[in-house]
Amino acid sequence: MATKSRYIQLMDTTLRDGEQTQGVSFTPAEKVNIAKALLQWLRVDRIEVASARVSQGEKEAVASINEWARQEGFAGRVEVLGFVDHTRSVDWILETGGSVINLLTKGSEKHCREQLGKTLEQHTQDILQTIDYALQKGLKVNVYLEDWSNGYQNSPDYVFGLMDNLKDAGISHFMLPDTLGVMSPDEVLASIGDMCSRYPSLLFDFHPHNDYGLATANVMAAVRAGVSSVHCTVNCLGERAGNASLAEVAVVLRDKMAMQLSIDETHIVRISQMVENFSGKRVAANAPIIGTDVFTQTAGIHADGDQKGGLYKTRLSPERFSRTRSYALGKMSGKASLKKNLELLEVELSEENQKKVLARIVQLGDSKQTITTDDLPFIIADVLESKSYEHIRLLNCSITSGLNLESTASIRVEVNGEKHLAVGSGNGGFSAFIEAIGKVLQQHDCALPALADYEVRIPKGGHTDALTECVITWDFGNELRKTRGVHANQVFAGVMATLKIVNMQLHETRVNQA
């Protein structure tokens, strides 16, 4: 069903409903910073920042937000949840300098009867009393119909009776929440469509929850049904499975429904990261729009297609969100993936060296899922330094270490075509390996030089799963030599560097004997 393009308001409730996420509690300073970012950077239409009468700290935060909003021209766009308590919530909001109350009423007969112990008529009287006081004090009033989704299904006469009682009370927005996230898109379309048809002169908001993973789909249905505003949160924060994701809702409404929105998409990721840091709730790497991996191509064929004409690009371009596309390096990489990363580093390699580097990437990919652009200089240096000869090959190696236990190493190597088994022990895994390899080298009249220096590092900005580069300086008496090893495991990076010096020694011995 086609939907006519129109303007849809986005109301962000990260600072109110989002703070009901288990373990999330924003400090007053954090609330102020998030509020400023939402209104000034992202330019959402409205923000809901708190529940009235919660705490003194909450009150101070709301007062700071309201003061800033007035100075910056955002007055009237900061909203606070209030309760049907006649003067108390209204006065609390007024004391913070607020101008909008979102009044929480009971949108289902079951909630009204069992939680309040009141009839529809009694609850209506209480609501109108609070609304009248709020309007007298100059507040704008919106009304939540709590548990409306269940109320519409189980007690529609109650819902229509409440609406009939309130429709002429001076309410700006009627907010229809799927409080427990129980609705499907078809149910949203039918129920909200009915509400909009019955009350065509009223403005309706839809407030979804994501318990079935349908929040964004339900938003689409609500917009088709005729709502004028949608509630969402940054990073899908909210009780239980969370609310609708602001990033998903904004992009879907623009791309899939051609709706007009006010927000500046270039700040979506920036604000997501701010909320992630303040909340301590990490965003999944594959979360649409905001996840760290969503603009990363892993398969080599995708990189090749992009290089040959943008074959795997969509409207969801990373540049749209002030991000960049990346090409993962690993066992699924191809020449195009490597080439894209070399361009990023402004490094040029011959075709032959590209093949060597790619082969090494694929090899490392078996022990490390992905290799970043930061890892690539280590790999390039390692490959370009490597000689083509291979007089010693490590066939198998097991190293065991434990707290307050001596480390052991068991190795199987091939030296000039002859296979050897050896074990060693020492103060650490590398020490144990050195003892084991030393036993093998004795059988070939060879000995490791003295260790002059041993340096281990990861790329700048690297993570705990980054590749490790080990550079060992060997003392040959009259000269120092350096070898480099690269591996996901730091001990094995040292092993690789050691094998290189052994290869150099065995090669020189063979040349001298020739």
Computed on alpha carbons and rounded to an integer, the radius of gyration of the chain in Å comes to: 32
Place of tokens 């009150």: 59
Please state, in angstroms and as integers, the Cα–Cα distance from residue 366 to each residue in 55, 92, 385, 456, following that order. 53, 60, 22, 22
φ, ψ at 46 (rounded to 5°): -145, 155
Tokens coding 381: 């240096």
DSSP 267-287: GHHHHHHHHHHHH--PPPTT-
Contact 451, 475 (CB under 8 A): yes
CA trace torsion 245, 250, 254, 260 (10° rounding): 140
The CA distance from 146 to 179, in Å, is 7
φ, ψ at 193 (rounded to 5°): -60, -40
- How many residues can be counted in the chain? 514
Contact 178, 107 (CB under 8 A): no
| Neighbouring C-beta atoms of residue 375, cutoff 10 Å | 25
User: Among residues 48, 58, 109, 146, which one is catalytic?
Assistant: 146
146 as an active site residue: the answer is: yes
16 as an active site residue: the answer is: yes
CA trace torsion 182, 187, 193, 194 (10° rounding): -90
User: Among residues 16, 46, 224, 484, which one is catalytic?
Assistant: 16
Please state, in angstroms and as integers, the Cα–Cα distance from residue 52 to each residue in 60, 85, 90, 96, following that order. 12, 11, 8, 10
| Neighbouring C-beta atoms of residue 306, cutoff 10 Å | 18
Tokens coding 123: 């609850």
Please state, in angstroms and as integers, the Cα–Cα distance from residue 287 to each residue in 124, 245, 294, 408, following that order. 42, 10, 7, 43
Classify each residue of 468-486 as buried b or exposed e, where b means 16 or more C-beta atoms within 10 Å of its C-beta.
Answer: bbbbbbbeeeeeeeebbbb
| Neighbouring C-beta atoms of residue 350, cutoff 10 Å | 8
Segments in 199-298 forming alpha helices (H): 215-225, 246-255, 268-279
Tokens coding 342: 């070399």
The CA distance from 152 to 147, in Å, is 9
Give catalytic residues, as residue numbers. Answer: 16, 146
